[in-house]
Structure 1
């Protein structure tokens, strides 16, 4: 349940903020951005960077 909450917040930050992935990782309590990247990819099958790009592409098309 905690992982789910962290994942939701990571997705929200990636989609709607200008914070760097490193800053988001720090805000969510990860020691290293690479740890967040591994966590995010394990749960979504995409990297945080790719997720952000996909969200931005989707927002532009709307």
Structure 2
């Protein structure tokens, strides 16, 4: 399990005002990116290798 105590969580600037129903991402951690539900900040988070996250985001942008 990754240590997320130093994670700096952020929402997408495109999240809008949908009542907070979005995901938050922490990409300041060494080698991993964490993703969590903004409605449950103390709940579980998914973690991905940073390279896999970059591939995912690149594919979405295309």
Task: Check whether TM > 0.5.
Answer: no
More strand by share: 2
Structure having the higher Rg: 2
Higher RCO, 1 vs 2 (CA within 8 Å, ≥6 residues apart): 1
More helix by share: 1
TM-score, L = length of structure 1? 0.31
